Structure 1
Amino acid sequence: MKTLLPTSTAGSLPKPSWLAEPEKLWSPWKLEGDALIDGKHDALRVALQEQQVAGVDIVSDGEQTRQHFVTTFIEHLNGVDFEKRETVTIRNRYEASVPSVVGPVSRPKSVFVEDAKFLRKQTDKPIKWALPGPMTMIDTLYDGYYQDREKLAWEFAKILNQEAKELEAAGVDIIQFDEPAFNVFFDEVNEWGIATLERAIEGLKCETAVHICYGYGIKANTDWKKTLGSEWRQYEEVFPKLQQSNIDIISLECHNSRVPIELLSLIRGKKVMVGAIDVATNTIETPEEVADTLREALKYVDADKLYPCTNCGMAPLSREVATAKLNALSAGAEIIRKELSA
C-alpha cells in the first residue's frame, strides 16, 4: 500500500556536536581516521532514527558523512586541485574560496555508494540520496582547464551518471540532484542545464528528482532574497522545459517564500516535493501551517503526486529545531491525508 503524501527532507540534517561544529556549513570534522568513519556511521544512524521517530516516510542519510553538498563529491574526483584555490562568486551571491579544475575530470571510484549501502541495511523505508547537479557543481569551482561552463557540465553529468547507477544498484529508491543554480542562470538552464541533468539520469530505473531552492538559511542567501521583490518568479523561467524533461520529481520551496503557488501549474503531471518547512528561521511551523501550504499546492498538483518536504537542507539549524520542524511536517501531512480520505 503506497503512502499518500509521503514526507521527506530536502537533504541535510544537523550533525551531532561530537562529529562537527553545529549550526555551521563546511564545519570541520572533530574526529579523524577510523574514529571519523565510525563517527559518520553513528551520526547517520542517529539522523535516520530522528527521521523515523518524526514519521518521515522517505528517509535519507541527512548528509552526515559529507561536509558540504557539492564539494564533498568533487573532493573524490581526479582533475580538481583543492590546494590551488581561487575566489569565485557563487550563484551571483557570495564569494567563496573554491578548488580549481586543473585537468580532465574523472571519478576513480564511487563516492557515496558504501554510505548508501550502509543506510540501506538500517531501514526498510524508501531512501532518497542527494547528489549535486552538474550546473551547481561548475558554479562551485574555478575552471582553469576547460574554461567552458557547458563542456565541464557535460563531463560532470557523465560522472554523476556513473555514481547514480551505482547508488541505484545499492538500493536507493530516489536519486535527487541539487540544482540551486537553476534559480539563477536561466538562459544556461534552458540551453544546456536541463540537458546535462538528463545525461546524469540516463538509464536509471529508480525515481529521479531535481531540487531547486533559494538556498540554506545563511546570511548571503537571506540577503539575496530581500532583493527579489514581492514575487519570486524564477521558477517560471525553467518549469516549462523541466515539465517536458525525463526527471520524475521536482522539489521546490513554497512555505514562507514569495513563490506564487500557481507556478506549480507549469509542471502539472510531474510529482512535486513541496517545501512546506522554512529552513531560514528557527520558528517552528504549526501542523496547521504546513497543512495550509499543502492545501494551496493541491490546487495545482494531484494528491498522488504531492510529496510534502522541507524547503532546503537543515544543516545550519540546531538539532532541536530541525527535529521539531520534522514533527510539524509529518503532523501537517497527516491533517491533509485525513481530509482527503474523508
Structure 2
Amino acid sequence: MTIHNLGYPRIGDFRELKFTIEAYWKGEKTLADLEAQAREIRYNNFQTQIAAGIELIPVNDFAYYDQFLNMSTLLGVIPQRFRQDEYDVEVAFRMARGRAPSDDEICLPGHDHQPNKSKAGFACAMKKWMDSNYHYIVPELYDDTEFKITDTRLFDEVAEALALKQDGNNIDFKPVLIGPVTYLYLAENVDNVIPKLNRLPELLEAYEQVLLKLAEQGINWVQIDEPILGLELDSEWQRALVDAYHVLKVPPVKILLATYFETLGDNLELACQLPVAGLHYDGVRGEAQLNDVIEQYPADKVLSIGLVDGRNIWKTDLNAAVEQLQGAKAKFGDNLWIAPTSSLLHVPVNLEVEEKLNPELKNYLSFAKQKLDEVKLLADVLDGKGDEKALADNAKAIADKKASKLVNNAEVQTRMAKLDEVALERAAPYAERAVLQKAKFNLPLFPTTTIGSFPQTAEIRQARRQFKAGEISEAQYIEAMQAEIRDVCERQERIGIDVFVHGEPERNDMVEYFGEQLDGYAFTQFGWVQSYGSRCVKPPIIYGDVSREKPMTVFWSQYAQSQTDKTMKGMLSGAVTMLNWSFVRNDQPRETTCNQIALALRDEVLDLEAAGIHMIQIDEAALREGLPLKKSDWAEYLRWAVKSFHLTTSGVANDTQIHTHMCYSEFNDIIESVAAMDADCITIETSKSNMKLLDAFVNFEYPNEIGPGVYDIHSPNIPTVEQMVGLIEKAAKLIPAERLWVNPDCGLKTRGWKETEPALTNMVEAAKVLRKQFAEQVKSA
C-alpha cells in the first residue's frame, strides 16, 4: 500500500518565503537570495515527508506566488503586456502584482503599453481557489495565446528532487500539475472569439510535451488535479475530460487523477471510466459518495483515498477511518493508496512549535506535519502493523473532545434555543431608512470613504510586538494606537475624505482581532497559512460555543469619533466571513456556529450604536467564498448566511446606516441574496474588472447604495484622477449617481503611505470632478 501526499505548505516553518520575497520586492535581497531560500524550503519539506514515511512525495507544489500562476508560465499563457524575449521570474511577479523590482514606470488599465519605458502592466485578476481561502492568479486567454513550454522551473525542481533518491530509501517523487480541463474552465477568455473548449487540443499538445519531458527525467507517476470533477458540469465539459485523458494516456507516465473538496456527484461514472492509472478521492468532503466510489472504481487500478482532512486542523478519528476503509482494502489490496484529502497548503505547518495553546485543545489538533503521521499510522493499521498505543491515544482524544467543558457552553446553548424570538428584519424598509439617513449624515454627492484599514506601518507592528512581549505597558500601547488614529484622522481631514475610518491600527487581522476577544476561539503563535503570494493569514480556531464577554471595538471607535466632526464608521467583520476564514469545529452544523458568532456581533453592533457610532460597516468579504461547489446546494447555504447577517444587524434604529463590503466576488448568481441582506450600502471590488462586476447589480436593479471600487489596492500602482473619474462615469451610466459612493476596492492595510496618500488624494479629486459634472443631472432628477 503506497503512502503519498498531494502537496505541502510552501511558506516555510516560520514564513521564511514571505519575508525573503518581500525583501526581494523591496530590493533588499537579490534573486540569488530568493532562489537559495526556495531551495532550502523545498529541501526541508522533502526531508519532513521522508521522515514521516511518505513514499511518493509531491514536486511542483512549491511556488513563489501561486501554483496556478506556475502553470500559466509553464504553458506560455502570458499576456502580451508581460511578454519578453526570455522568460524570468519577474514575469510571474508582474502578472501577479502589476510590477517587479526592476520596473520604474507603470502601464495602467486603459493606457497604451509603452515597452520602451516599462515592462510593468496592470495585474492579472485573482480569485479564490474553489471554496478555499487560497487565491489563484486567473489565466488570461487571448486570440494570440499560444500554448508552449516557456518556464522550465518544473523540470529544474524535479531534477532537484530526484537527486535525493538513494538506494534503499524507498522514496519517489510525483510532480503535481493543474489539470488541463480545470485550467481551461477557470481561465478567463478575454477576447471571447475562440471558445475555450476549442483550445483544448492545442493545450493538450503542451501537456503532452510536459509529460514526455517528465518521463525523460525518470518520473513514473504524475498527479493531475481536476477538482472541477466536484462541480455540476454540463455535457460539453464532461466530454472535455474524456477527450483530454484519452490524449494524455499516451505519454509513458502513469497519471493519478486527483479530485477533492466535494463528492463526484453526477461525474462518478465519468471519473471511474477515465483512462488513467489511478484516482484520488476526498473521503471527508466526499464522504456521502465514498462507498459508491469504492464499489464502482475498477479494482485493477489505483484508488487513493483521503480521510485525513487537508482543509481543517482536527485530529482524524483513525479508528473510524480504518472502519471506512476495510471494504476498500479488501477490494483493492495494494492498489489502495492512502493520502490526505487534498494538498496540505491549507493548514498550518507544525503543531509542535505551538507553546501557548491550551494543552487540552492542543491534544485535539493536527497540523500539516502531524497529518503526515496520521496518514502513515492509518496505512500501517490497515496493513496490520499499526502502533496500538498511538491508535488508543487517538481514540481517547476524539472521545475527550466530545465531552469537553472547554467545547460546550450551557449559556450559549440556552440563548441559541431562543433564536426564533429574535426579529430578523429592520424596522423600516430601505426606502424609508434612506430618507432618514440622508437627513442625518448630510453627505455630498459621490461621498468618499475607504474600506476600513490604513497602512500597517513598521511602527504599528513594532508596538504590537512589544505589547505582546510585555516590553511596553497596556497604557503605552493604547497611547501608541491612539496616536496612529489621530494621524489617520488628520490625513483624512487633509485629503478631504467625507466618511472617516479609524484605520484599525490595533487590529492584526480582520478575523483574528475579533476572535481573540470571543470565547470559543483559540489562536496559534505560528499557525500561518498562505492566502495569496506573500500574504499569509493565521486563521482562528473555533473549538467551542462562541460568545462575547465584553465590547470589542467601542473604545477605539469612540476615541476616533472624538478626533473629528466627520462621521466615523464603526468596523466589524461579519459572522459568515469569520466562519469561512476560520478553522471551524467539525462536531456541529456550520449554520449553528455561524449564528453563535452573529449573536455576539449583534451585541457589539448595539453597543456601538449606543456609543454614538451610527454608521457601521460589517464586512462579509467571504460570503460568496462559502458557497458549496455544487449549485444545487447554494440555496440552503445562502438562506442561513443571509439570516446570520440579519441576526447581526436587525436591532439598530432606522437612521443608523449599515454598510457591508464584499471583495473579489462574482455576484451574478448570488445577487438576490446580496439584496436580501438589505445593507444600506455595499462596497465592492470593481476596478480590475473595469466595472464589469457591477453588471449583476444593474441587471437585478439593486435598490440600495453602492460603492464600486475605483482602484486596485493589491497593486502599488497609483491611479490617476482621470482613470477613477472614468470608472465612476461608467458606473453612473448603470446606477443613479445619488446612490453611488467612491472608495478603493478593499482595505489599505498592505499598502504604504507613499502609495496610499496620493491615491486617496486623487480619489477625492475625482469625486469633486464628478460632483460638478453630475450636479445638474441629479438636481433635475
- Both structures adopt the same fold (TM-score exceeding 0.5): yes
Residues 84 and 145 of structure 1, relative CA distance in 2, 3 Å threshold = farther
In percent, how many aligned pairs have the same letter?
25
Q: Which residue of 2 aligns with 1:204?
A: 652
Q: Which among 66, 70, 88 is matched to residue 511 of structure 2?
A: 70
Aligned equivalents of 2:562 and 2:734: distance in 1? 37
- TM-score w.r.t. structure 1 length? 0.86
CA contact (8 A) 2:485 2:502 kept: yes
1:171-225 CA-to-partner distances (Å, cap 9, x unmatched) read 22321111121232232652311111111001112111110002xxxxxxxxxxx
Aligned equivalents of 1:203 and 1:102: distance in 2? 28
Q: Which residue of 2 aligns with 1:227?
A: none
CA contact (8 A) 1:44 1:62 kept: yes
SS of structure 2 residue aligned to 1:181: coil
> Which residue identity lines up with residue 752 of structure 2 in the other structure?
S
Q: CA shift at 1:60, angstroms?
A: 0.6
CA contact (8 A) 2:581 2:622 kept: no
> Which residue identity lines up with residue 733 of structure 2 in the other structure?
K
Q: Which residue of 1 aligns with 2:711?
A: 277
Whichever structure has more helix as a proportion of its residues is: 2
Q: Which residue of 1 aligns with 2:520?
A: 79
5 Å matches for 1:50-69? Answer: 50-69=491-510
Residues 9 and 319 of structure 1, relative CA distance in 2, 3 Å threshold = same
Q: Which residue of 2 aligns with 1:129?
A: 570
Aligned equivalents of 1:178 and 1:292: distance in 2? 27
CA contact (8 A) 2:713 2:745 kept: yes
5 Å matches for 1:212-291? Answer: 212-214=662-664, 234-257=666-689, 259-265=692-698, 266-291=700-725
5 Å matches for 1:93-242? Answer: 97-144=538-585, 146-186=587-627, 187=634, 190-205=638-653, 206-214=656-664, 234-242=666-674
CA contact (8 A) 1:7 1:333 kept: yes
Aligned equivalents of 1:30 and 1:330: distance in 2? 36
- Between the two structures, name the one with larger relative contact order (CA 8 Å, sep ≥ 6): 1
Aligned equivalents of 2:587 and 2:562: distance in 1? 40
Aligned equivalents of 2:530 and 2:620: distance in 1? 16
Aligned equivalents of 2:681 and 2:453: distance in 1? 18
> Which residue identity lines up with residue 646 of structure 2 in the other structure?
E
SS of structure 2 residue aligned to 1:104: strand
Aligned equivalents of 1:87 and 1:279: distance in 2? 22
> Which residue identity lines up with residue 554 of structure 2 in the other structure?
V
Q: CA shift at 1:127, angstroms?
A: 1.4
CA contact (8 A) 1:158 1:200 kept: yes
Q: Which residue of 2 aligns with 1:24?
A: none
RMSD: 2.4
SS of structure 2 residue aligned to 1:272: strand
Note if 1:318 corresponds to 2:768.
no
Q: Which of 61-70 and 239-248 deviates more? A: 239-248
Q: CA shift at 1:84, angstroms?
A: 9.1
- TM-score w.r.t. structure 2 length? 0.39
Residues 86 and 2 of structure 1, relative CA distance in 2, 3 Å threshold = closer
SS of structure 2 residue aligned to 1:64: coil
SS of structure 2 residue aligned to 1:307: coil
Q: Which residue of 1 aligns with 2:485?
A: 44
How many residues matched?
317
Aligned equivalents of 1:297 and 1:154: distance in 2? 35
1:125-179 CA-to-partner distances (Å, cap 9, x unmatched) read 1111221111110122222365421111111111111001111122223211111
Q: Which of 172-181 and 95-104 deviates more? A: 95-104
Q: Which of 261-270 and 271-280 deviates more? A: 261-270
1:43-96 CA-to-partner distances (Å, cap 9, x unmatched) read 0111111111111100011111211111101100111122598777879xx985
Q: Which of 295-304 and 328-337 deviates more? A: 295-304
SS of structure 1 residue aligned to 2:577: helix
Residues 87 and 69 of structure 1, relative CA distance in 2, 3 Å threshold = closer
Aligned equivalents of 2:536 and 2:455: distance in 1? 24
CA contact (8 A) 1:14 1:314 kept: yes
Q: Which of 258-267 and 238-247 deviates more? A: 258-267
Aligned equivalents of 2:589 and 2:536: distance in 1? 20
1:303-332 CA-to-partner distances (Å, cap 9, x unmatched) read 221111110001111111011111111011
Q: CA shift at 1:98, angstroms?
A: 2.9
Residues 95 and 189 of structure 1, relative CA distance in 2, 3 Å threshold = farther
Q: Which residue of 1 aligns with 2:465?
A: 29
Aligned equivalents of 2:513 and 2:457: distance in 1? 18
SS of structure 2 residue aligned to 1:131: strand
CA contact (8 A) 1:279 1:314 kept: yes
Residues 85 and 204 of structure 1, relative CA distance in 2, 3 Å threshold = farther
- Over alpha carbons, which structure has the higher Rg? 2
CA contact (8 A) 2:464 2:477 kept: no
Listed as ranges, the gaps of 5+ residues in structure 1 are: 22-26, 215-231
Q: CA shift at 1:18, angstroms?
A: 1.9
Aligned equivalents of 1:99 and 1:293: distance in 2? 37
Q: CA shift at 1:267, angstroms?
A: 4.8
Q: Which residue of 1 aligns with 2:736?
A: 302
> Which residue identity lines up with residue 268 of structure 1 in the other structure?
Y
Q: Which of 182-191 and 329-338 deviates more? A: 182-191
Q: CA shift at 1:102, angstroms?
A: 2.7
